[in-house]
Chains A and B, each alone.
Chain A
Amino acid sequence: MDLSELKEGQTATVVRVGGDGPFRRRLLEMGFLRGTEVYIEKYAPLRDPIELILKGYHVSLRVDEAARIEVENVRG
C-alpha cells in the first residue's frame, strides 16, 4: 500500500521508499526508513500536501511524493 492512500489519523510502517536519486535519499535522511512508524496527522485544506508525524516530529509531503512510499501494517 502507498502512504498516500492512508486516511487522517491512521498509522503505518514504512516498507520502502521508491523514486529516484536525491529525493529518495533526502526522505531517508529525514527518517523514512524501513520499519519507521508514520502517522497521518492531516491533509491540507486543498487535500495536498499531507502532514505526517514520524520520529516525533511533523513533516509535510506532497501526495504524489507520499505515493512513492510503500507502507504496511496500516492501523487506526
Chain B
Amino acid sequence: MPKKSITIALAGNPNSGKSTIFNNLTGTRQKVGNWPGVTVEKKEGHLKTNGYDLAVVDLPGTYSLTAYSIEEIVARNFILDEKPDVVVDIIDASNLERNLYLATQLRELDTKVIFVLNMADLARERGVKIDADKLSELLDVPVVFTVGNRNQGTRELLKMIISVAEAEIDLPRTRRVYYGKDIEKAVGELSEFIREKTSAELPYHIRWAAIKLLENDGIVKERILQSANPQGEAILQEAKLKRQRLRDFFDEEPEIVMTDHRYGFIAGIVKEVVKTVSRQRVDVSRQIDQVLTNRLLGLPIFVFFIWAMFQLTFSLGAYPMDWIDAGVGWLGEGAGRILPEGLFADLIVDGVIAGVGSVAIFLPNILILFFCIALFEDTGYMARAAFLMDKVMHLIGLHGKSFIPMLMGFGCNAPAIMATRTLESEKDRILTILINPLMSCAARLPVYILLAGAFFGAKAGNVIFSIYALGIVLAISIGRLFRSTLLRGKVAPFVMELPPYRVPMFKGLVIHMWDRSKIFLKKIGGVILIGSVIVWFLSAFPKQVQFSRDYQAEIAGISDHYGSLISAAHGDLRETLLRKRDEAISALEILQATEKVEKSYIGRLGKVLAPVFAPIGMDWRGSVAVLTGFVAKEIVVSTMGVLYAVGADEDEKSEALKVALKESGMTPLSAYAMMAFVLIYVPCLATVAVIRRETNSWKWAAFSIAYSTVLAWVVAFVIYQGGKAIGLVQSSPSLCI
C-alpha cells in the first residue's frame, strides 16, 4: 500500500542553504507562522508529485540538537513528537566536518534520514571532493547532491524522499557513534535499567534516552518523569549516579566527553570520504571581507549601507505612499458619496477607511525595508554588521545583531520589532523589543515639527534633534536597567558564524520580504481596524450632545444676516461679504466641533485625566490628543487641530494651529515636555500588536505600555517642573536647550 501523504522535516545548520532547498521544493506555496508557544518562525510548504502529497516543514537552523536554544528544542521535539516520515538534513558540503555534527545527532534519533550535500560545487572549487557513496555506506544513510541556488538535484531529492518514505528500513541502525568503553557501558546499563523499570511505551528510543540522561538533558528528564511514572524518579536517580561516576572518572562533564567522541567519529568519516586537492583557489569571500570588515573602512561602509537603506526606504517609498494616500482619500470620498449619510457612513469613512488607511500607507516603506533586510541576510552581510557593531551594542547589554532593529526603529517600530527575529536569545529579543519604541519613529516627527515650530522658531531643528537624542539616551539607560533587573542574565555569547558571501536569489529575496510584510498586513490590519473603530466611537459618541449654544440657529442667523447684504452688494464688496460670511460660519462650525469632541466620550475621558496631565503642563486638550495618538502618533496633530479650534485638516505646517497653540497658554517649556511625552509614551497600536505577536505574550505588550507611559510621565514631569523651578516659564521663544 503506497502512502499517499508524506511529511518531511528539513533540518540543517544555519547558512547551509536550507531555505533555498525549501524554496526549491515548495515554490511559493508556503505558510509562515510561529511554532506553538514560542516565537520561532515555522515555515511549511506543500507539493504534489507522482500522486503523493508532500508536506515539507522547515525546522529552525541549528548546529546541534542539545536543549541549548529554543530553536534546537523546537527542531528536536518536532522530530520526536510529530514523527515526520523522513528527515532531510541539509549539509553544507564545503563545511562538512561541523555540519556532520548535527547529522550524527539526527542519526541517533532513529528516524529515517536523508543527507543532502548542498553546494558541492563550492566545495569542489575550494579543492574538496566528497565520496558520497562512501559516506552513504559509512553512515548507512542515503546521500543526495544538490546545488540549491541553481536548483540542481531537487528532482533526485524528491525521488529519494519518496523511496525512503516507502521503504521498510530496520531501525535502529547499527553504524552509530561509539562513545568509548566507559560511557558505552554506562549507556548500556542505564538502557537496561530503563527497560526493566518501564513497561509502558517511552516517548523515546531507549538508547537515545539513556544518552540524553547521561548528558543531563533537562527536557528528556522531565519527559521521563512524566511518562515513566512512578518509576521516573528511580530512573533519574540511577542516571544521576552514573553521571556522577563518569564525571569522577573523566574529571569532566560526561556531555563534554561525548561531544569529543562525536567529533572523533566525524573526523574518522571525514578522513575516509574527503579528498582534498591541494589546488587552493582564491577565497572570494575572504577578499570581500578584507574590505567590508576592514579596520578602517568597515564601519564607514556599514554606515553608508544603512544610510542607503534609509534613503531607499523613505525617498523611494514616498511615491507609492502618495499613491496610497490618494487612494485612501479617494476611497473615503467615494464611500462617503455612495453610502447614505449617517452613522454607518461615518463608521466606514472616518473609522475604518481613515484608520486602516493610516497604517496601510506604511506598506511601501515596509516592503522596501524588508527587501533590504532580506538582502543583508541572504548575502551574509547581516553577520558582518553584527560583527562590526557588537562592541557598541554590548555596552547596552545587547548583541551586535540588535543594532539593525534599533536603527530601523527610527523609521517605523513595527517592522523594526519584527526584525528582532534574527536574534537567537529570547532575553536579547525581548529587551530589544522593549526599548525599540524609544527610537523615535517617523510618525512622531509631525508632532515635533508642529510644537517645535510653534515655540522654538529658528531653534526648532536643534530642539527636535535633542528629542531624538533623549530617546537614544533613555534607550541605553533603560536597556541597562532592564538587563540588570527584569531580564537578568548574561548577554548571549557571540559564537556567531560568518558564512561565506553568497549571491542572493531574487526569488528567495521576494519570498523573504513578502512573508514578513504579509504578517504586517494581516495581523496589524485586524488590530488597527478594531482600534480605529474604538477611537472613532469614543470621539463620535454620544451622538446627541447638549450644546451650550444653539449653533444651528446662529449659523442660520448669520446666513440670513449676510444673505440680505450680499444680495444688495456688487463687485468687491460682494466678494468681501461672501468671504466674511463663510469665515463666520466656519468659525462657528469649528467651535461646535470642538464642543462636540469636548463632550464626546473621549473628551470626557480627557477631562477626567486632565489632573493627571496637569503636573506635566498639559491641559485636557493635550490629554485627548495623546489619547488618540495611541492609534498612530501622527493623529496627535490632527486631534489638536480639532481641539484648538482650527479644524481637523491642519497639518504640522499650519500657521493657524501654531498661533492657536501659543494663545492657549502653552509655553516652550510645556511644549518641550509634551514632545518628550509623545516620544516616550505608549507605542502606537500597530507596534503594541507586533510586540504581542513577537513576544507571544500579552504580558510583555501590557508591560511595554505601562512602563513607557510611566516613564513618559516622569520624564515630562522632570522637564516641566524642573524647568519651572529654574525659572523657564516665559512664553517667548527664547528658551535655549
Question: CB within 8 Å of B: which residues of A?
Answer: 22-31, 33-34, 41-49, 51, 55-62, 65
Contact = CB atoms under 8 A, between A and B. Distances in A.
A60 B68 CA distance: 19
Chain A interface helix/strand/loop/mixed: mixed
Interface in B86-129: 94-95, 97-98, 101
Nearest to B256: A28
Contacts of A61: 493-495
A25 B387 contact: no
Contact of A29 (B101, B400, B499): B101
B495 A31 contact: no
B391 A46 contact: yes
Contact of A22 (B68, B98, B390): B68
B493 A62 contact: yes
A59 B496 contact: yes
B274 to A, nearest CB: 10
**Chain B interface extent, by class:** 35 or more
B388 interface: yes
Contacts, number: 107
Contact of A55 (B98, B294, B400, B498): B98
B436 interface: no
Nearest to B216: A21
Given A26-B493, A59-B498, A46 B97 contact: no
A45 B496 CA distance: 17
A24 B255 CA distance: 11
A42 B394 CA distance: 19
B298 interface: yes
B25 to A, nearest CB: 25
Nearest to A24: B256
A25 B390 contact: no
A42 B299 CA distance: 15
A25 B498 contact: no
Interface in B286-319: 286, 289, 293-296, 298-299
Given A23-B493, A60-B496, A65-B493, A49 B387 contact: yes
B387 A29 contact: no
Chain B interface helix/strand/loop/mixed: helix
A25 B391 contact: no
Contacts of A62: 390, 394, 493-494
B514 interface: no
Interface in B488-502: 493-500
A42 B68 contact: no
Contact of A57 (B98, B390, B394): B98
Contacts of B265: none
A49 B298 CA distance: 13
A25 B495 contact: no
Instruction: Point out which of A22, A46, A61 has the most chain B C-beta atoms below 10 A from its C-beta.
Output: A46
Closest A-B pairs by Cβ, 10 of them:
A46-B391, A58-B498, A62-B494, A29-B64, A28-B259, A45-B298, A48-B391, A55-B97, A57-B95, A23-B493
A54 B197 CA distance: 44
B482 interface: no
Contacts of A48: 390-391, 394
A36 B94 CA distance: 18
Contacts of A60: 383, 387, 390, 494-498
A63 to B, nearest CB: 9
17 contacts: A25-B66, A26-B63, A26-B68, A28-B259, A29-B64, A29-B259, A31-B97, A42-B295, A44-B293, A49-B391, A51-B293, A57-B95, A57-B98, A59-B495, A60-B383, A60-B495, A61-B493
B392 interface: yes
A60 B495 CA distance: 6
B263 interface: yes
A58 B497 contact: yes
Contacts of A31: 97-98, 101, 263
A61 B497 CA distance: 9
